[in-house]
Structure 1
Amino acid sequence: MPSFFRRKRLMTVLIVFIVLVGLIGFSIRDRSSISIPEKFLQDTVGWVQTIFHQPIRLVDGIYTHTKDMLHVYEQNKVLKARLAEYKGSIQENQALKKENEELRATMDKSKALSDYSPIQASVIARSSDRWFEQMTINKGEENGVKKDMAVMTSEGMVGKIKSAGAFHSTVQLLSGFDRSNKISAWVEKKKGNRVFGLIEGYDDESGRLILNGIKLDEELKKGDAVVSSGMGGVFPENLRIGKVDEVVNDQFGLTKTAYIKTYADLFDINQVIVVDRAEETVENNNGEEQ
Protein backbone atom coordinates (compact mmCIF):
# COMPACT_ATOMS: atom_id res chain seq x y z
CA MET A 1 0.00 0.00 0.00
CA PRO A 2 2.70 2.53 0.84
CA SER A 3 4.36 1.62 -2.43
CA PHE A 4 1.21 2.56 -4.31
CA PHE A 5 1.02 5.99 -2.74
CA ARG A 6 4.67 6.66 -3.44
CA ARG A 7 4.15 5.82 -7.08
CA LYS A 8 1.10 8.04 -7.21
CA ARG A 9 3.02 11.03 -5.79
CA LEU A 10 5.85 10.37 -8.19
CA MET A 11 3.47 10.29 -11.12
CA THR A 12 1.84 13.53 -9.94
CA VAL A 13 5.20 15.31 -9.69
CA LEU A 14 6.18 13.99 -13.12
CA ILE A 15 2.94 15.20 -14.70
CA VAL A 16 3.31 18.66 -13.11
CA PHE A 17 6.89 18.88 -14.36
CA ILE A 18 5.84 17.91 -17.87
CA VAL A 19 3.07 20.52 -17.82
CA LEU A 20 5.49 23.25 -16.59
CA VAL A 21 8.02 22.37 -19.26
CA GLY A 22 5.30 22.50 -21.83
CA LEU A 23 4.06 25.88 -20.61
CA ILE A 24 7.59 27.29 -20.62
CA GLY A 25 8.19 26.05 -24.09
CA PHE A 26 4.87 27.38 -25.22
CA SER A 27 5.54 30.84 -23.73
CA ILE A 28 9.00 31.30 -25.20
CA ARG A 29 8.22 30.27 -28.72
CA ASP A 30 7.50 32.90 -31.37
CA ARG A 31 3.83 33.71 -31.49
CA SER A 32 1.74 36.36 -33.14
CA SER A 33 -0.39 36.71 -30.01
CA ILE A 34 -0.32 35.79 -26.35
CA SER A 35 -2.90 34.01 -24.27
CA ILE A 36 -5.44 35.77 -22.08
CA PRO A 37 -3.73 34.77 -18.80
CA GLU A 38 -0.44 36.12 -20.17
CA LYS A 39 -2.15 39.34 -21.21
CA PHE A 40 -3.67 39.67 -17.77
CA LEU A 41 -0.31 39.04 -16.09
CA GLN A 42 1.51 41.45 -18.43
CA ASP A 43 -1.03 44.23 -17.86
CA THR A 44 -0.99 43.68 -14.10
CA VAL A 45 2.79 43.95 -13.97
CA GLY A 46 2.66 47.05 -16.24
CA TRP A 47 0.14 48.82 -14.05
CA VAL A 48 2.16 48.03 -10.91
CA GLN A 49 5.30 49.36 -12.58
CA THR A 50 3.43 52.51 -13.67
CA ILE A 51 2.07 53.13 -10.16
CA PHE A 52 5.55 52.88 -8.60
CA HIS A 53 7.42 54.50 -11.49
CA GLN A 54 5.54 57.85 -11.51
CA PRO A 55 6.33 58.82 -7.87
CA ILE A 56 9.92 57.71 -8.33
CA ARG A 57 10.19 59.73 -11.54
CA LEU A 58 8.62 62.76 -9.84
CA VAL A 59 10.98 62.58 -6.86
CA ASP A 60 13.95 62.11 -9.16
CA GLY A 61 12.85 65.10 -11.25
CA ILE A 62 12.49 67.29 -8.15
CA TYR A 63 15.91 66.19 -6.90
CA THR A 64 17.54 66.85 -10.26
CA HIS A 65 15.83 70.25 -10.59
CA THR A 66 16.83 71.24 -7.06
CA LYS A 67 20.38 70.12 -7.69
CA ASP A 68 20.50 72.17 -10.90
CA MET A 69 19.10 75.22 -9.10
CA LEU A 70 21.74 74.94 -6.39
CA HIS A 71 24.40 74.61 -9.05
CA VAL A 72 23.08 77.66 -10.89
CA TYR A 73 22.93 79.57 -7.58
CA GLU A 74 26.56 78.76 -6.82
CA GLN A 75 27.57 79.75 -10.35
CA ASN A 76 25.62 83.00 -9.96
CA LYS A 77 27.44 83.79 -6.71
CA VAL A 78 30.80 83.15 -8.35
CA LEU A 79 29.87 85.27 -11.38
CA LYS A 80 28.63 88.12 -9.18
CA ALA A 81 31.86 88.03 -7.17
CA ARG A 82 33.95 88.06 -10.35
CA LEU A 83 31.82 90.88 -11.79
CA ALA A 84 32.33 92.92 -8.62
CA GLU A 85 36.08 92.30 -8.83
CA TYR A 86 36.02 93.29 -12.50
CA LYS A 87 34.13 96.51 -11.77
CA GLY A 88 36.50 97.24 -8.90
CA SER A 89 39.48 96.69 -11.17
CA ILE A 90 38.01 99.00 -13.82
CA GLN A 91 37.37 101.75 -11.27
CA GLU A 92 40.82 101.29 -9.76
CA ASN A 93 42.43 101.43 -13.20
CA GLN A 94 40.46 104.55 -14.08
CA ALA A 95 41.50 106.21 -10.81
CA LEU A 96 45.14 105.25 -11.35
CA LYS A 97 44.99 106.45 -14.95
CA LYS A 98 43.51 109.78 -13.87
CA GLU A 99 46.09 110.16 -11.10
CA ASN A 100 48.89 109.28 -13.52
CA GLU A 101 47.64 111.86 -16.02
CA GLU A 102 47.44 114.49 -13.29
CA LEU A 103 50.96 113.67 -12.11
CA ARG A 104 52.33 113.89 -15.66
CA ALA A 105 50.54 117.18 -16.26
CA THR A 106 51.78 118.54 -12.94
CA MET A 107 55.36 117.53 -13.71
CA ASP A 108 55.15 119.08 -17.17
CA LYS A 109 53.73 122.26 -15.66
CA SER A 110 56.50 122.32 -13.04
CA LYS A 111 59.11 122.14 -15.80
CA ALA A 112 57.37 124.98 -17.63
CA LEU A 113 57.50 127.24 -14.56
CA SER A 114 61.15 128.05 -15.09
CA ASP A 115 60.82 131.55 -13.59
CA TYR A 116 59.50 130.20 -10.29
CA SER A 117 60.36 127.58 -7.69
CA PRO A 118 57.60 124.94 -8.00
CA ILE A 119 56.88 122.54 -5.14
CA GLN A 120 54.80 119.50 -6.08
CA ALA A 121 52.31 118.25 -3.50
CA SER A 122 49.35 115.90 -3.11
CA VAL A 123 45.97 116.67 -1.58
CA ILE A 124 45.47 114.45 1.46
CA ALA A 125 42.28 115.85 3.00
CA ARG A 126 39.23 118.05 2.41
CA SER A 127 36.82 118.59 5.28
CA SER A 128 33.16 118.04 4.51
CA ASP A 129 32.06 121.34 6.08
CA ARG A 130 34.72 123.35 4.19
CA TRP A 131 34.97 121.31 1.00
CA PHE A 132 34.56 124.42 -1.17
CA GLU A 133 36.88 126.58 0.92
CA GLN A 134 40.07 124.75 1.83
CA MET A 135 42.10 121.54 1.65
CA THR A 136 45.24 120.00 3.15
CA ILE A 137 48.41 119.07 1.22
CA ASN A 138 51.38 116.89 2.21
CA LYS A 139 54.08 119.58 2.01
CA GLY A 140 55.05 122.16 4.62
CA GLU A 141 57.78 124.49 5.78
CA GLU A 142 60.37 121.70 5.66
CA ASN A 143 59.70 121.56 1.91
CA GLY A 144 59.89 125.32 1.42
CA VAL A 145 56.16 126.07 1.66
CA LYS A 146 55.23 129.41 3.21
CA LYS A 147 52.07 131.34 3.96
CA ASP A 148 50.44 133.16 0.99
CA MET A 149 52.26 131.17 -1.69
CA ALA A 150 50.18 130.57 -4.81
CA VAL A 151 48.77 127.06 -5.37
CA MET A 152 47.84 125.77 -8.80
CA THR A 153 47.19 122.63 -10.84
CA SER A 154 48.26 121.92 -14.40
CA GLU A 155 45.16 123.82 -15.57
CA GLY A 156 45.55 126.95 -13.51
CA MET A 157 45.53 128.64 -10.10
CA VAL A 158 43.32 127.14 -7.37
CA GLY A 159 44.23 129.20 -4.28
CA LYS A 160 46.97 130.14 -1.85
CA ILE A 161 48.64 128.74 1.26
CA LYS A 162 46.56 129.79 4.26
CA SER A 163 48.85 128.27 6.89
CA ALA A 164 51.96 126.10 6.76
CA GLY A 165 53.02 123.47 9.27
CA ALA A 166 56.30 121.60 9.30
CA PHE A 167 55.16 118.86 6.92
CA HIS A 168 51.58 119.79 5.96
CA SER A 169 49.82 122.96 4.83
CA THR A 170 46.27 124.28 4.50
CA VAL A 171 45.26 125.73 1.14
CA GLN A 172 42.58 128.38 0.87
CA LEU A 173 40.76 127.80 -2.40
CA LEU A 174 39.68 130.56 -4.76
CA SER A 175 36.10 129.48 -4.07
CA GLY A 176 36.67 130.52 -0.44
CA PHE A 177 38.06 133.96 -1.29
CA ASP A 178 36.33 137.14 -0.10
CA ARG A 179 37.15 140.85 -0.43
CA SER A 180 40.01 140.46 2.05
CA ASN A 181 41.75 138.12 -0.41
CA LYS A 182 42.54 140.09 -3.55
CA ILE A 183 44.50 139.07 -6.63
CA SER A 184 45.78 141.68 -9.04
CA ALA A 185 45.18 140.37 -12.54
CA TRP A 186 45.51 141.11 -16.23
CA VAL A 187 42.83 140.38 -18.79
CA GLU A 188 44.61 139.33 -21.96
CA LYS A 189 42.39 140.76 -24.67
CA LYS A 190 42.34 138.92 -27.97
CA LYS A 191 42.86 142.25 -29.67
CA GLY A 192 44.43 145.25 -27.98
CA ASN A 193 46.27 145.92 -24.74
CA ARG A 194 45.91 144.11 -21.44
CA VAL A 195 43.27 145.30 -18.99
CA PHE A 196 43.97 145.51 -15.25
CA GLY A 197 41.54 144.44 -12.57
CA LEU A 198 41.28 143.02 -9.05
CA ILE A 199 39.79 139.63 -8.21
CA GLU A 200 37.76 140.31 -5.08
CA GLY A 201 35.82 137.29 -4.06
CA TYR A 202 33.81 134.39 -5.44
CA ASP A 203 30.17 134.24 -6.48
CA ASP A 204 28.76 131.08 -4.89
CA GLU A 205 25.60 131.08 -6.97
CA SER A 206 27.29 131.12 -10.36
CA GLY A 207 30.57 129.48 -9.29
CA ARG A 208 32.71 132.27 -10.78
CA LEU A 209 35.39 134.67 -9.57
CA ILE A 210 34.55 138.38 -9.38
CA LEU A 211 36.96 140.73 -11.18
CA ASN A 212 36.32 144.37 -10.20
CA GLY A 213 37.81 147.74 -11.08
CA ILE A 214 37.68 147.50 -14.88
CA LYS A 215 37.45 150.86 -16.64
CA LEU A 216 34.18 151.63 -18.38
CA ASP A 217 35.83 152.28 -21.73
CA GLU A 218 37.49 148.84 -21.81
CA GLU A 219 35.82 146.34 -24.09
CA LEU A 220 36.17 142.79 -22.83
CA LYS A 221 34.85 139.73 -24.59
CA LYS A 222 33.79 136.32 -23.40
CA GLY A 223 36.75 133.98 -23.54
CA ASP A 224 39.45 136.58 -22.83
CA ALA A 225 42.17 135.00 -20.67
CA VAL A 226 42.84 136.20 -17.11
CA VAL A 227 46.31 135.82 -15.52
CA SER A 228 47.97 137.11 -12.37
CA SER A 229 49.76 140.41 -12.81
CA GLY A 230 52.37 139.98 -10.07
CA MET A 231 51.76 143.56 -8.98
CA GLY A 232 50.20 142.64 -5.66
CA GLY A 233 53.47 141.38 -4.26
CA VAL A 234 52.00 137.99 -3.25
CA PHE A 235 51.32 135.99 -6.39
CA PRO A 236 53.87 135.55 -9.19
CA GLU A 237 53.19 136.99 -12.61
CA ASN A 238 51.42 135.24 -15.49
CA LEU A 239 49.81 132.40 -13.54
CA ARG A 240 46.71 131.19 -15.40
CA ILE A 241 43.51 131.96 -13.49
CA GLY A 242 40.55 131.67 -15.86
CA LYS A 243 38.65 133.30 -18.68
CA VAL A 244 36.00 135.99 -18.93
CA ASP A 245 32.50 134.55 -18.85
CA GLU A 246 30.37 137.69 -18.43
CA VAL A 247 30.89 141.47 -18.14
CA VAL A 248 28.45 143.87 -16.45
CA ASN A 249 28.53 147.46 -15.17
CA ASP A 250 28.87 147.84 -11.42
CA GLN A 251 25.99 149.13 -9.31
CA PHE A 252 27.26 152.72 -9.47
CA GLY A 253 28.00 152.71 -13.20
CA LEU A 254 31.59 153.84 -12.66
CA THR A 255 33.44 150.65 -13.53
CA LYS A 256 32.80 147.22 -14.96
CA THR A 257 32.73 143.86 -13.25
CA ALA A 258 33.74 140.66 -15.00
CA TYR A 259 32.79 137.17 -13.89
CA ILE A 260 35.66 134.77 -14.39
CA LYS A 261 35.33 131.03 -14.94
CA THR A 262 38.42 129.31 -13.54
CA TYR A 263 40.51 127.07 -15.75
CA ALA A 264 41.00 124.56 -12.93
CA ASP A 265 38.25 122.43 -11.44
CA LEU A 266 38.19 123.68 -7.84
CA PHE A 267 36.18 120.73 -6.57
CA ASP A 268 38.20 117.82 -7.96
CA ILE A 269 41.86 118.37 -7.06
CA ASN A 270 44.42 115.65 -6.33
CA GLN A 271 47.82 117.03 -7.35
CA VAL A 272 48.95 120.63 -6.95
CA ILE A 273 51.98 122.86 -7.40
CA VAL A 274 52.94 125.41 -4.76
CA VAL A 275 54.57 128.31 -6.62
CA ASP A 276 57.20 130.55 -5.06
CA ARG A 277 58.90 133.47 -6.67
CA ALA A 278 62.44 132.59 -7.77
CA GLU A 279 65.08 134.61 -6.03
CA GLU A 280 65.94 137.51 -8.28
CA THR A 281 69.08 139.55 -8.24
CA VAL A 282 68.76 143.20 -9.09
CA GLU A 283 71.72 145.43 -9.69
CA ASN A 284 71.67 148.88 -8.08
CA ASN A 285 73.24 151.99 -9.45
CA ASN A 286 76.66 151.01 -8.06
CA GLY A 287 76.57 147.68 -9.83
CA GLU A 288 76.00 145.80 -6.57
CA GLU A 289 73.38 143.02 -6.24
CA GLN A 290 70.54 143.54 -3.83
Structure 2
Amino acid sequence: MKAKNQFSLSSKYWLLILAVICIILMGLSGFADTGKGPLSWVAGYTIVPMQKGINRVGMWMSDLSDNFATLQEVKSENEKLQAKVDELTVENSRLQQEAAELDGYKELFKMHESTGDYPKVGARVIASENNNWFSKFTIDKGENDGIKVDMNVLSGSGLAGIVTEVGPNWSTVSAIIDEKNVSAMMLTSFDKCIVSGDLTLIQDGVLRFEELANNENEVLAGEQVVTSNISSKYLQGLLIGYVSEVSVDANDLTRSGYIIPATDYRKLREVLVITTTKQDVMDRKAGTPDDADNSGTQE
Protein backbone atom coordinates (compact mmCIF):
# COMPACT_ATOMS: atom_id res chain seq x y z
CA MET A 1 0.00 0.00 0.00
CA LYS A 2 2.88 2.29 0.89
CA ALA A 3 4.66 1.50 -2.35
CA LYS A 4 1.52 2.43 -4.30
CA ASN A 5 1.33 5.88 -2.66
CA GLN A 6 5.01 6.54 -3.41
CA PHE A 7 4.51 5.61 -7.05
CA SER A 8 1.44 7.86 -7.28
CA LEU A 9 3.28 10.80 -5.69
CA SER A 10 6.26 10.28 -7.94
CA SER A 11 4.04 10.41 -11.05
CA LYS A 12 2.56 13.72 -9.93
CA TYR A 13 6.01 15.19 -9.49
CA TRP A 14 7.07 14.06 -12.93
CA LEU A 15 3.98 15.63 -14.46
CA LEU A 16 4.69 18.90 -12.66
CA ILE A 17 8.33 18.87 -13.75
CA LEU A 18 7.36 18.28 -17.37
CA ALA A 19 4.82 21.10 -17.22
CA VAL A 20 7.44 23.49 -15.84
CA ILE A 21 9.93 22.45 -18.54
CA CYS A 22 7.34 23.10 -21.22
CA ILE A 23 6.60 26.56 -19.79
CA ILE A 24 10.31 27.37 -19.67
CA LEU A 25 10.81 26.17 -23.23
CA MET A 26 7.86 28.25 -24.42
CA GLY A 27 9.34 31.25 -22.72
CA LEU A 28 12.75 30.65 -24.17
CA SER A 29 11.15 30.28 -27.58
CA GLY A 30 9.61 33.71 -27.15
CA PHE A 31 12.96 35.20 -26.23
CA ALA A 32 14.52 33.45 -29.19
CA ASP A 33 11.99 35.14 -31.47
CA THR A 34 12.84 38.60 -30.06
CA GLY A 35 16.56 37.96 -30.33
CA LYS A 36 17.29 40.11 -27.19
CA GLY A 37 18.64 39.37 -23.73
CA PRO A 38 20.62 36.54 -22.21
CA LEU A 39 17.69 34.19 -22.35
CA SER A 40 17.57 34.55 -26.11
CA TRP A 41 21.19 33.41 -26.18
CA VAL A 42 20.24 30.33 -24.13
CA ALA A 43 17.28 29.71 -26.38
CA GLY A 44 19.53 29.91 -29.41
CA TYR A 45 21.53 26.97 -28.06
CA THR A 46 18.55 24.93 -26.87
CA ILE A 47 15.25 25.66 -28.58
CA VAL A 48 16.47 26.59 -32.06
CA PRO A 49 18.47 23.39 -32.62
CA MET A 50 15.52 21.41 -31.31
CA GLN A 51 13.19 23.18 -33.72
CA LYS A 52 15.59 22.57 -36.61
CA GLY A 53 15.77 18.89 -35.69
CA ILE A 54 12.00 18.64 -35.50
CA ASN A 55 11.70 20.41 -38.86
CA ARG A 56 14.22 18.04 -40.43
CA VAL A 57 12.39 15.03 -39.02
CA GLY A 58 9.14 16.43 -40.33
CA MET A 59 10.61 17.04 -43.80
CA TRP A 60 12.13 13.53 -43.82
CA MET A 61 8.78 12.02 -42.87
CA SER A 62 7.09 14.08 -45.59
CA ASP A 63 9.64 12.96 -48.20
CA LEU A 64 9.28 9.39 -47.03
CA SER A 65 5.52 9.60 -47.43
CA ASP A 66 5.89 11.11 -50.91
CA ASN A 67 8.41 8.43 -51.91
CA PHE A 68 6.10 5.69 -50.62
CA ALA A 69 3.21 7.10 -52.64
CA THR A 70 5.44 7.30 -55.71
CA LEU A 71 6.62 3.72 -55.12
CA GLN A 72 3.03 2.52 -54.93
CA GLU A 73 2.24 4.31 -58.20
CA VAL A 74 5.29 2.80 -59.89
CA LYS A 75 4.40 -0.65 -58.57
CA SER A 76 0.83 -0.31 -59.85
CA GLU A 77 2.08 0.89 -63.25
CA ASN A 78 4.59 -1.96 -63.37
CA GLU A 79 1.83 -4.49 -62.70
CA LYS A 80 -0.22 -3.01 -65.54
CA LEU A 81 2.78 -3.13 -67.90
CA GLN A 82 3.58 -6.72 -66.89
CA ALA A 83 -0.02 -7.73 -67.56
CA LYS A 84 0.24 -6.11 -70.99
CA VAL A 85 3.55 -7.90 -71.69
CA ASP A 86 1.96 -11.23 -70.70
CA GLU A 87 -1.00 -10.52 -72.97
CA LEU A 88 1.29 -9.65 -75.89
CA THR A 89 3.41 -12.74 -75.25
CA VAL A 90 0.34 -14.97 -75.43
CA GLU A 91 -0.84 -13.18 -78.57
CA ASN A 92 2.59 -13.53 -80.19
CA SER A 93 2.67 -17.23 -79.37
CA ARG A 94 -0.79 -17.66 -80.90
CA LEU A 95 0.23 -15.79 -84.05
CA GLN A 96 3.39 -17.90 -84.41
CA GLN A 97 1.32 -21.06 -84.05
CA GLU A 98 -1.17 -19.82 -86.64
CA ALA A 99 1.69 -18.92 -89.00
CA ALA A 100 3.17 -22.41 -88.60
CA GLU A 101 -0.23 -23.98 -89.26
CA LEU A 102 -0.69 -21.75 -92.30
CA ASP A 103 2.66 -22.90 -93.68
CA GLY A 104 1.58 -26.49 -93.08
CA TYR A 105 -1.69 -25.92 -94.93
CA LYS A 106 0.18 -24.32 -97.83
CA GLU A 107 2.36 -27.43 -98.11
CA LEU A 108 -0.72 -29.64 -97.99
CA PHE A 109 -2.34 -27.55 -100.70
CA LYS A 110 0.73 -28.03 -102.92
CA MET A 111 0.60 -31.76 -102.26
CA HIS A 112 -3.12 -31.76 -103.09
CA GLU A 113 -2.40 -30.08 -106.41
CA SER A 114 0.39 -32.51 -107.28
CA THR A 115 -1.86 -35.50 -106.54
CA GLY A 116 -5.05 -33.99 -107.90
CA ASP A 117 -6.22 -37.27 -109.45
CA TYR A 118 -7.08 -38.66 -106.03
CA PRO A 119 -9.91 -37.47 -103.75
CA LYS A 120 -8.67 -36.40 -100.32
CA VAL A 121 -9.75 -35.19 -96.90
CA GLY A 122 -7.65 -33.16 -94.49
CA ALA A 123 -7.03 -34.38 -90.94
CA ARG A 124 -5.11 -33.32 -87.85
CA VAL A 125 -2.71 -35.51 -85.89
CA ILE A 126 -4.07 -35.80 -82.34
CA ALA A 127 -1.84 -38.48 -80.76
CA SER A 128 1.23 -40.61 -81.41
CA GLU A 129 2.77 -43.77 -79.97
CA ASN A 130 6.30 -42.45 -80.36
CA ASN A 131 6.76 -38.85 -79.26
CA ASN A 132 9.88 -38.32 -81.37
CA TRP A 133 9.15 -39.94 -84.73
CA PHE A 134 5.42 -40.67 -85.01
CA SER A 135 5.91 -44.30 -86.09
CA LYS A 136 2.18 -44.72 -85.42
CA PHE A 137 -0.17 -41.80 -84.94
CA THR A 138 -3.86 -41.05 -84.60
CA ILE A 139 -5.82 -38.56 -86.71
CA ASP A 140 -9.17 -36.91 -86.03
CA LYS A 141 -11.06 -38.44 -88.98
CA GLY A 142 -12.68 -41.89 -89.19
CA GLU A 143 -15.56 -43.91 -90.61
CA ASN A 144 -17.94 -40.96 -90.33
CA ASP A 145 -15.64 -39.09 -92.73
CA GLY A 146 -15.31 -41.97 -95.20
CA ILE A 147 -11.93 -43.19 -93.95
CA LYS A 148 -11.10 -46.89 -94.47
CA VAL A 149 -8.21 -49.21 -93.71
CA ASP A 150 -5.36 -49.11 -96.30
CA MET A 151 -6.04 -45.53 -97.36
CA ASN A 152 -2.79 -43.70 -98.06
CA VAL A 153 -1.88 -40.70 -95.90
CA LEU A 154 0.19 -37.74 -97.13
CA SER A 155 2.06 -34.99 -95.35
CA GLY A 156 2.87 -31.66 -96.98
CA SER A 157 6.04 -33.15 -98.48
CA GLY A 158 5.23 -36.72 -99.42
CA LEU A 159 3.95 -40.07 -98.24
CA ALA A 160 3.39 -40.22 -94.47
CA GLY A 161 1.87 -43.69 -94.02
CA ILE A 162 -1.21 -45.85 -94.36
CA VAL A 163 -4.41 -46.24 -92.34
CA THR A 164 -4.31 -49.45 -90.27
CA GLU A 165 -7.30 -49.00 -87.93
CA VAL A 166 -10.50 -46.96 -88.10
CA GLY A 167 -13.00 -45.76 -85.51
CA PRO A 168 -16.10 -43.58 -85.87
CA ASN A 169 -14.20 -40.29 -85.66
CA TRP A 170 -10.53 -41.33 -85.48
CA SER A 171 -8.03 -43.48 -87.35
CA THR A 172 -4.62 -44.98 -86.64
CA VAL A 173 -1.91 -44.46 -89.23
CA SER A 174 1.22 -46.57 -89.53
CA ALA A 175 4.07 -44.37 -90.78
CA ILE A 176 6.22 -45.41 -93.72
CA ILE A 177 9.18 -45.59 -91.29
CA ASP A 178 7.38 -48.48 -89.58
CA GLU A 179 6.69 -50.38 -92.82
CA LYS A 180 8.63 -53.30 -94.34
CA ASN A 181 9.03 -54.32 -98.00
CA VAL A 182 7.35 -51.33 -99.62
CA SER A 183 7.58 -51.60 -103.39
CA ALA A 184 9.17 -48.43 -104.77
CA MET A 185 11.03 -47.13 -107.82
CA MET A 186 13.49 -44.46 -108.88
CA LEU A 187 11.55 -41.62 -110.45
CA THR A 188 13.84 -41.02 -113.42
CA SER A 189 14.56 -44.63 -114.46
CA PHE A 190 11.51 -46.46 -113.01
CA ASP A 191 13.91 -49.12 -111.70
CA LYS A 192 12.21 -51.03 -108.88
CA CYS A 193 13.51 -51.43 -105.35
CA ILE A 194 12.26 -52.38 -101.89
CA VAL A 195 12.09 -49.74 -99.15
CA SER A 196 12.13 -50.67 -95.48
CA GLY A 197 12.07 -48.53 -92.38
CA ASP A 198 12.78 -49.15 -88.73
CA LEU A 199 13.20 -47.00 -85.65
CA THR A 200 16.92 -47.73 -85.45
CA LEU A 201 17.55 -46.26 -88.89
CA ILE A 202 15.16 -43.38 -88.43
CA GLN A 203 17.18 -42.18 -85.45
CA ASP A 204 19.75 -41.31 -88.11
CA GLY A 205 16.99 -39.81 -90.25
CA VAL A 206 17.05 -42.40 -93.05
CA LEU A 207 15.20 -45.35 -94.60
CA ARG A 208 16.90 -48.24 -96.42
CA PHE A 209 16.34 -49.38 -99.98
CA GLU A 210 17.47 -52.72 -101.44
CA GLU A 211 17.24 -54.93 -104.55
CA LEU A 212 17.80 -52.09 -106.99
CA ALA A 213 19.16 -53.50 -110.26
CA ASN A 214 22.83 -52.80 -110.85
CA ASN A 215 22.46 -51.66 -114.45
CA GLU A 216 23.59 -48.74 -116.58
CA ASN A 217 21.05 -46.38 -115.00
CA GLU A 218 22.96 -44.03 -112.73
CA VAL A 219 21.55 -43.23 -109.28
CA LEU A 220 22.73 -39.95 -107.78
CA ALA A 221 22.23 -38.41 -104.36
CA GLY A 222 18.96 -36.50 -104.39
CA GLU A 223 17.18 -38.93 -106.72
CA GLN A 224 13.48 -39.11 -105.88
CA VAL A 225 12.10 -42.46 -104.74
CA VAL A 226 8.36 -42.99 -105.19
CA THR A 227 5.86 -45.80 -104.69
CA SER A 228 5.78 -48.19 -107.63
CA ASN A 229 2.93 -49.35 -109.81
CA ILE A 230 3.17 -52.91 -108.44
CA SER A 231 2.65 -51.95 -104.80
CA SER A 232 -0.46 -53.68 -103.48
CA LYS A 233 -1.33 -51.07 -100.83
CA TYR A 234 0.29 -47.82 -101.92
CA LEU A 235 -0.91 -45.79 -104.87
CA GLN A 236 1.63 -45.19 -107.60
CA GLY A 237 3.92 -42.17 -107.69
CA LEU A 238 3.74 -41.01 -104.05
CA LEU A 239 7.05 -39.49 -102.95
CA ILE A 240 8.82 -41.55 -100.27
CA GLY A 241 12.08 -39.61 -100.08
CA TYR A 242 15.45 -38.80 -101.63
CA VAL A 243 18.49 -41.03 -102.13
CA SER A 244 21.31 -40.04 -99.78
CA GLU A 245 23.71 -42.95 -100.37
CA VAL A 246 23.98 -45.88 -102.79
CA SER A 247 26.46 -48.77 -103.15
CA VAL A 248 26.80 -51.97 -105.17
CA ASP A 249 26.02 -55.18 -103.26
CA ALA A 250 28.51 -58.04 -102.89
CA ASN A 251 26.69 -60.06 -105.57
CA ASP A 252 27.42 -57.27 -108.09
CA LEU A 253 23.85 -57.68 -109.38
CA THR A 254 21.96 -55.28 -107.15
CA ARG A 255 22.46 -51.98 -105.35
CA SER A 256 21.28 -50.75 -101.98
CA GLY A 257 21.49 -47.56 -99.97
CA TYR A 258 19.66 -45.04 -97.85
CA ILE A 259 16.82 -42.58 -98.34
CA ILE A 260 16.03 -39.37 -96.50
CA PRO A 261 12.23 -39.44 -95.93
CA ALA A 262 10.22 -36.66 -97.54
CA THR A 263 8.10 -36.39 -94.39
CA ASP A 264 9.55 -34.93 -91.21
CA TYR A 265 7.91 -37.19 -88.63
CA ARG A 266 9.06 -35.02 -85.74
CA LYS A 267 6.89 -32.11 -86.90
CA LEU A 268 3.83 -33.91 -88.24
CA ARG A 269 0.63 -31.96 -87.46
CA GLU A 270 -1.71 -31.97 -90.46
CA VAL A 271 -2.13 -34.66 -93.13
CA LEU A 272 -4.18 -35.49 -96.20
CA VAL A 273 -5.95 -38.84 -96.45
CA ILE A 274 -6.51 -40.13 -99.98
CA THR A 275 -10.07 -41.45 -99.76
CA THR A 276 -9.56 -44.33 -102.13
CA THR A 277 -7.39 -47.41 -101.70
CA LYS A 278 -5.07 -49.17 -104.12
CA GLN A 279 -7.52 -52.07 -104.12
CA ASP A 280 -10.36 -49.69 -105.09
CA VAL A 281 -8.30 -48.49 -108.04
CA MET A 282 -7.47 -52.05 -109.10
CA ASP A 283 -11.13 -53.11 -108.78
CA ARG A 284 -12.30 -50.20 -110.92
CA LYS A 285 -9.77 -51.01 -113.60
CA ALA A 286 -10.77 -54.68 -113.53
CA GLY A 287 -14.47 -53.83 -113.36
CA THR A 288 -14.94 -55.87 -110.18
CA PRO A 289 -16.74 -54.91 -106.95
CA ASP A 290 -14.85 -52.75 -104.42
CA ASP A 291 -14.83 -55.55 -101.85
CA ALA A 292 -12.75 -57.89 -104.02
CA ASP A 293 -10.06 -59.76 -102.13
CA ASN A 294 -6.57 -58.30 -102.16
CA SER A 295 -3.52 -60.41 -102.98
CA GLY A 296 0.22 -59.84 -103.23
CA THR A 297 3.21 -59.96 -100.94
CA GLN A 298 4.65 -56.47 -101.40
CA GLU A 299 2.98 -53.39 -100.02
Higher helix share: 2
- CA apart distance, 1:210: 0.9
Q: How far apart, CA to CA, are the structure 2 residues paired with 1:227 and 1:128?
A: 25
5+ residue gaps, structure 1: 1-26, 28-33, 284-288
* Alignment deviations for residues 247-289 of structure 1 (CA, whole Å, 9 cap, x no partner): 2344666532221111221111121111224757548xxxxx5
- CA apart distance, 1:90: 0.6
Corresponding position: 1:248 with 2:239: no
Structure 2 residue identity aligned to 1:258: G
1:198 aligns with one of 194, 200, 209: 194
Tell me the residue number matched to 2:270.
Answer: 271
Q: How far apart, CA to CA, are the structure 2 residues paired with 1:131 and 1:264?
A: 10
Q: What TM-score, normalized to structure 1?
A: 0.74
Tell me the residue number matched to 2:29.
Answer: none
Q: What TM-score, normalized to structure 2?
A: 0.72
Q: How far apart, CA to CA, are the structure 2 residues paired with 1:166 and 1:160?
A: 17
Indicate conservation of the 8 Å contact 2:139/2:171, yes or no: yes
Tell me the residue number matched to 2:143.
Answer: 141
Structure 2 residue identity aligned to 1:222: A
Corresponding position: 1:188 with 2:187: yes
Identity among equivalent positions (%) equals: 23
Pair member with larger Rg:
1
5+ residue gaps, structure 2: 1-33, 289-299
Of stretches 226-235 and 105-114 in structure 1, the one that deviates more from structure 2 is: 105-114
Q: How far apart, CA to CA, are the structure 1 residues paired with 2:232 and 2:133?
A: 28
Q: How far apart, CA to CA, are the structure 1 residues paired with 2:252 and 2:52?
A: 103
How big is the alpha-carbon RMSD for the aligned residues of Structure 1 and Structure 2? 2.8
* Alignment deviations for residues 41-88 of structure 1 (CA, whole Å, 9 cap, x no partner): 667654232110222222233333333333323322222222121111
Structure 1 residue identity aligned to 2:227: S
Match of 1:116, SS state, is coil
Tell me the residue number matched to 2:119.
Answer: 117
Indicate conservation of the 8 Å contact 2:132/2:266, yes or no: no
Q: How far apart, CA to CA, are the structure 2 residues paired with 1:247 and 1:132?
A: 26
Q: How far apart, CA to CA, are the structure 2 residues paired with 1:252 and 1:50?
A: 108
Change (3 A) 1:205 1:128: closer
- CA apart distance, 1:39: 7.0
Change (3 A) 1:279 1:198: closer
Q: How far apart, CA to CA, are the structure 1 residues paired with 2:100 and 2:48?
A: 75
Tell me the residue number matched to 2:3.
Answer: none
